[in-house]
Amino acid sequence: MLIQGISHHPSVLERPAQESLVESLRAAVLQSPLYTPVMPRTGRPFSVRMTNMGTLGWVADRDGYRYQAMHPQTGQPWAPIPHVLLELWQKYAGYPHPPEACLVNFYQQGAKMGLHQDRDEEDFNAPVLSVSLGDTAVFRLGGTQRVGKTQTLKLSSGDVLVMGGPSRLCFHGIDRVLTGTSTLLKEGGRINLTLRRVTKP
């Protein structure tokens, strides 16, 4: 049984919708290119490449974690959030105000994401909604403390996951990506799209 506030919606996007969304992402990346973020202080690179869409984007560099309106390398505004993602937010988020940021994480073979909380936002009443595209990922979910019992869940292409309510500040991460489980991306890998409301309405 999943933690209260977590809702998993398998296969929300069918294959044609996934393909269309990938094309929208390709266009967005032309405006807001993928780059490799680094850990604050140490400068250690993440194993994922990332970018953002929306009026705000989440960035990580030696100065810390934060949201900003401009791409850190181009100095230009982020690409807009595709309409299909805004529709998913309206349907599944249960929150009256639109997302301001969509973090795009691209996992190539061997990439993963350690346990972390999404806590750089002002409004924790707003959920975090993620959409999976490409290879299946093993998602790890814990409680609101870094130590303690965790559970795993497989997230496949087209799945939607919502973390809200009591689960909003749960630690979570990606243990591994199961290479070859999807043919959506020509060269394999996984894309995770995370919609977030950043400021208080």
pTM of the model: 0.95
pLDDT at 169: 94
- By mean pLDDT, which of 140-149, 166-175, 182-191 is the weakest? 140-149
Q: How many domains does the chain have?
A: 1
Looking at the domain assignment, is residue 1 inside a domain?
no
What is the per-residue DSSP string for the chain?
A: -PPTTEEEETT-S-HHHHHHHHHHHHHHHHHS--B--B-TTT-PBPSSEEEEEES-EEEEETTEEEEESB-TTT-SBPBPPPHHHHHHHHHHT--SS--SEEEEEEE-TT--EEEE----SS-TTS-EEEEEEES-EEEEE--SSSSS--EEEEE-TT-EEEE-GGGTT--EEEEEE-TTS--SSTT--EEEEEEE--S--
List pLDDT tens digits, range 106-165: 999 899 999 999 999 998 999 999 999 999 999 999 999 888 889 999 999 999 999 999
Looking at the domain assignment, is residue 54 inside a domain?
yes
The CATH number given to whatever domain includes residue 18 is 2.60.120.590
Looking at the domain assignment, is residue 92 inside a domain?
yes
